[in-house]
Structure 1
Amino acid sequence: MRTSHWLLFAGVVLNVASSPSRLCAQQSNAATRDSSKRPAANEHRGPPGDEHTVSGSLLTLVGSEAVDRLRSEQLLKGVASGQSLLLLSASGLTPSNADSTAGWRASRVSPQVLAVINSAIPFSQNYGALWAGTGLSTRTLIGLKLESAHARIILAPEIILSSNTDWVLRHDFYVPDLPPDRSKYDLPFYVGAYTIDQPLRFGNKSIQRIDPGETTAMLSSSRFAFGFSNENEWWGPGIRNAIVLSNNAPGFPHLFLRTARPLATHFGDVEMRWLVGGLKESPYFDTVSTNNVRSIASFAATLQTRWDPNLSFGLARSVYSTASGWSPVFWRWFDIFTQTSRTRFADVRKDQLFSLFARWVFPADGVELYTEWGRLELQPSLRDFLIAPNHTQGYTVGLQWRGGSWREGNFRIQGEITQLEQSATFRDRPVPSWYTSTRVIQGYTNRGEMLGASIGPGAQSQFAALDYLKSDWRIGTYAGRIRWNEDAHDNFGFPAYAAYCNHDVSIYGGLRSSKVGQAGTITADLTVQTRLNAFFQNAGGCPLDRRLDIHNTTIAFSFTPAR
């Protein structure tokens, strides 16, 4: 990263770190100066609608420490009404500061900083607008909120900086040639029937840009909210991976209709989200300029059961389509009700994902169980489902446990498995690969990153963690494994002597911690990873030692002010 970028990042960090204390000092000085000017309790101050308030305000992000702490508390206290945590977004997680008797209320969105350092290879999971390449990458959120009783505007852009330093694959190994219309940064193993916009690297220069971030504008009633947003959504119970929508990719511009608060029914509390928007191709996929925009329509609904508020169910579906430009994108609300085809030569130029999920918390035992089961193809008939229920499936299963009091703290165990590799039905019928597409060549991505699970297409992962939790801090360790792009490996056609042992696998372990103080919340994460046969780079087979293993260290820090 150039010197100017380092100076800009340092300035932002210093501003964020000092803002809580500086704000408190300013408020204290103002209170002292103005104490003699305050009106008496019975003095007329004008109509409530004429009052405007400006103060600091925290925006709670998807995947933040605040969400983790709330979910951890539910293991002991149970799930309160409206807190199933199955449909998440920043605007939904952050309560409004508006007063129903007042006019507009303005508040400064407290700046938040995330910094990620990769030593040898890009490793970026669930960082939203930030793609963490090699070297230092940072994301800084700033903004302003304007709120009234029935309207809300959140301006929360993000400053993205990344050194994006060089790393190179060995092209003397098995790397297929890219078509002439593809960027040299495109992942070369997805150039056949099933393709995806998943660059190995986002260009050869440092990255500096301003992203719309978590910006949202909405109108709301007592039951529903309608608006426009660019914020990330997380649908489902997964902690590491969400199959349909997550915060792994940058947010995309979309219109939405959703419940403003859970709707009480005879069966329990219902939440709903329905959105339609546009996805952008990354600049590092192909050289064609007429296919850079796609549409997406998504719907999700959850039920927090009346007979047991700790038990919640949900479903979600996304349909994404080719588009000639931005004009038709925001009119495709009803794509979620249409049929799609996985046939390569079909006239229907759209694909879909569908999932069912559930979460069950047992506070008496400190246990949570959750699962998400998805499909790329909806079953054409009950007969077909009974014959091959696993066709095109993907799933996540996970658990948490909290207990074992020690020195006024608790232990927490987490475990999660995600499986998105092709199902065994490939033996008797074509099976697509998750997030890739035959008809929408960029796949289920936005700006070159996966909209769903961070492990990406045709992958599987296992994760386990042990944390010690106190009221204002935590520390823990974790380990995991990811097998990347396995479907591409199986379909590429490597020589037999190499194919059975050149699987692309990451083995990693690490330490993580957080501290909540008067100034705000700091998190730190250290991951040490070995990527075996990185991108299938093994030319010698198992007995020989002609392979490319990459050892990478990832350090991530975040700071969120208290206000």
Structure 2
Amino acid sequence: MDSRVFVCLLFSAFLGNPVYSQGFLSNNTQLQEYVRRDQLFNHDDSVFNISFHLRALNSSFKNNERFYGLNNVGRKPYEGTENFGIGILPIIHRLYMNSNRPYGWADGPVIPNRGLQYFGTFGVYSKLLFFRIQFQPEIIIAQNLPFEGFSDAFNRDINRLRFRIFNFGDYPERFGSGKYTNFLWGQSKITAQFGGFETGISTQNIWWGPGQWNALTFSNNAPGFPHLSLNTIDPVHTFLGRFEGQLIVGRLESSRAEATQSKELNERFSLPFTNDWRYLNGITVSYNPKWISGLFLGFTRTYQQYNEYRRDEFRDHFPIFDAFQKTVVGFDRDIDGKDQQATIFARFLSVKAKAEIYFEYGRRDHAFNWREAILNPEHARAYLFGFKKLFDLNNLEKIIQVRGEMTHQQESVNRYMRYPGINGGLSWHTHSKARGFTHFGQPLGVGIGTGSNVQTLEISLVENFDKLGVLFERLANHQDFYYQAFGQQHEHQPWVDLSIGFLFDKKWEQFLLSSKLQLINGFNYQWQLSPDSTPEFPKGQHLFSVHSQVSLIYLFQKSAE
């Protein structure tokens, strides 16, 4: 859509209309965490029946003023009519700092960066009959300083294996060679709502699945991409239970950035990107059985393909409706450049126990048939699972929150039986022709690095929005590459980051503050050896770094305490 048309529609909706109150959970992890925690205390259907498998949360939330504890948008919470209204979305500022190397994920359009980085967003919202217009652009400014990345001192075989992953994806170490600035449409959309359904065009971030820090398909890790969407805005009630879902068609772009900071390595091993864009088709459905309160089941499926390879047939416009078995769908999908992922997930929450558990399991390659899928679930898989538990403190309004999650992308030992040699197959979010499940150089789902695994544990003291806590994290970096390149020797050891983080969130009047200070020790950083290492007594090179972030949200409506 032409930008001038978008702006004209936006401002024509504003003229002469009063303020309309609207929730703003579209891409705010702090508020999503609050609502998700509130589910474990709240029996109200408007809160308890949210699956959190489909985010942005576009629900109307008729009682949102109560469970937010604040009137979050307009100047007056109930001003406006049934058919017309406008509102001002909060102003959000975030500042990130990485001292010696990039660290962090699930932060939207923010890039992997050493140095300071600023993210800012503001927005306005309009209701015009059944139309919804939201304009919420985002700006990113980053120092983008150079750092010690993949070394050019390795031999040709190791370099070739490293660039095998680079050339099957779009994961540049650094976005350019100087200061980085970007201005995006952000969490903007134009949609029409009919009952419990919504359809329209959007650049909002999408999150599918129950994860708190990661998701196997879509998360907040990359910039939002333009897409057409048909989705539910409230659970659809049937005699079997409640359903939520979304069907999208989108456009993905490549970064066209150099893979490493070494010009020599890039010239020798890197494959150039095509100028084409990638066509994306995806679907997710979540089901809450009528007979089991608190249980949510679901699946996702996505296909992407360079547009030049796409034919003008229904199955090429909507490949998500193809069969899963290669014996049915055919053996030429990879030749056509089609890259598919499918996941299943479940989440169970109990108000009585004040706890929730969840998992997600996915495959990025079709099974030969259903028998092969059942007998060989380890092939081309990734998974995550996590939990949250709340503990009451006697005679205090504060509670202790313990939550954790582990995400595993590393290939299984199945690769030794399925493929010749020790190189194995491809990693999660990579593809030989589609060049990775990414948008502008960042993975759409798991953001911890190709073939990496992570475990996160948080213990905190919380009261409403306020939080004081500590976070422990272990990140095993690029394990697929490590075992391909170094798996048959003992001198170079895995690159593992161990970190501890300190969390502080506070709400004052119309301000919401969220902060994190994380101390990271990178053992065997970039698989480098210490200068005093010897083959008989190998010693890795370690790198200490600090990651910090501060977020400040200003609400135009003073909260109702």
- In the superposition, the TM-score normalised over structure 2's length comes to 0.82
Q: 1:230 to 1:170 in 2, by over 3 A?
A: closer
Q: Is the 8 A contact 1:276 1:329 kept in 2?
A: no
**Larger displacement relative to structure 2 (479-488 or 89-98):** 89-98
**Larger displacement relative to structure 2 (247-256 or 422-431):** 422-431
The correspondence of residues 312-351 of structure 1 with structure 2, limited to 5 A, is 312-324=296-308, 333-338=317-322, 346-351=334-339
Pick from 30, 38, 45: which aligns with 1:73?
38
The correspondence of residues 159-198 of structure 1 with structure 2, limited to 5 A, is 159-169=139-149, 171=151, 173-174=153-154, 189-191=162-164, 195-198=168-171
Pick from 481, 491, 496: which aligns with 1:505?
496
Aligned twin of 1:108: 88
Q: Is the 8 A contact 2:458 2:472 kept in 1?
A: yes
The correspondence of residues 18-37 of structure 1 with structure 2, limited to 5 A, is none
Deviation at 1:190, TM superposition (A): 3.4
The correspondence of residues 440-479 of structure 1 with structure 2, limited to 5 A, is 440=434, 442-479=435-472
Work out whether 1:208 is the aligned partner of 2:181. yes
Secondary structure, aligned partner of 1:324: helix
Work out whether 1:59 is the aligned partner of 2:48. no
Aligned twin of 1:309: 293
**Which amino acid counterpart does residue 489 of structure 1 have in structure 2?**
Y
Q: Is the 8 A contact 2:168 2:431 kept in 1?
A: yes
The correspondence of residues 219-298 of structure 1 with structure 2, limited to 5 A, is 219-285=192-258, 288=272, 290-298=274-282
Deviation at 1:131, TM superposition (A): 1.2
Deviation per CA, 1:187-224, whole angstroms, max 9, x where unpaired? Answer: 98132697111011111111112011111110111132
Deviation at 1:55, TM superposition (A): 6.9
Q: Tell me, in whole angstroms, the C-alpha distance in 1 between the residues paired with 2:312 and 2:251.
A: 9
Q: Tell me, in whole angstroms, the C-alpha distance in 1 between the residues paired with 2:309 and 2:158.
A: 26
Pick from 37, 47, 53: which aligns with 1:86?
53
**Larger displacement relative to structure 2 (511-520 or 543-552):** 543-552
Aligned twin of 1:157: 137
Q: Tell me, in whole angstroms, the C-alpha distance in 2 between the residues paired with 1:280 and 1:166.
A: 24
Deviation at 1:516, TM superposition (A): 1.8
**Which amino acid counterpart does residue 492 of structure 1 have in structure 2?**
A
Secondary structure, aligned partner of 2:45: coil
Deviation at 1:143, TM superposition (A): 2.3
Q: 1:535 to 1:452 in 2, by over 3 A?
A: same
Work out whether 1:523 is the aligned partner of 2:514. yes
Aligned twin of 2:266: none
Aligned twin of 2:370: 382
Secondary structure, aligned partner of 1:189: helix
Q: Tell me, in whole angstroms, the C-alpha distance in 1 between the residues paired with 2:61 and 2:124.
A: 13
Q: Tell me, in whole angstroms, the C-alpha distance in 2 between the residues paired with 1:210 and 1:330.
A: 35
**Larger displacement relative to structure 2 (430-439 or 318-327):** 318-327
- In the superposition, the TM-score normalised over structure 1's length comes to 0.82
Q: How many residues align?
A: 505
Deviation per CA, 1:206-259, whole angstroms, max 9, x where unpaired? Answer: 111201111111011113211111111111111111011100011111111112
Pick from 330, 346, 367: which aligns with 2:355?
367
Deviation at 1:419, TM superposition (A): 1.0
Q: Tell me, in whole angstroms, the C-alpha distance in 2 between the residues paired with 1:458 and 1:142.
A: 35
RMSD: 3.2
Q: Tell me, in whole angstroms, the C-alpha distance in 2 between the residues paired with 1:153 and 1:245.
A: 23
**Which amino acid counterpart does residue 244 of structure 2 have in structure 1?**
E
Q: Is the 8 A contact 1:344 1:438 kept in 2?
A: no
Deviation per CA, 1:354-374, whole angstroms, max 9, x where unpaired? Answer: 111111111111111111111
Deviation at 1:58, TM superposition (A): 6.0
Aligned twin of 2:113: 133
Q: Tell me, in whole angstroms, the C-alpha distance in 1 between the residues paired with 2:19 and 2:547.
A: 38
Q: Tell me, in whole angstroms, the C-alpha distance in 1 between the residues paired with 2:505 and 2:311.
A: 45
Deviation at 1:304, TM superposition (A): 1.6
Deviation at 1:467, TM superposition (A): 0.7
Pick from 126, 141, 153: which aligns with 1:146?
126
Q: Tell me, in whole angstroms, the C-alpha distance in 2 between the residues paired with 1:165 and 1:330.
A: 46
Deviation at 1:260, TM superposition (A): 3.1
Q: Is the 8 A contact 1:78 1:361 kept in 2?
A: no
Deviation at 1:398, TM superposition (A): 0.9
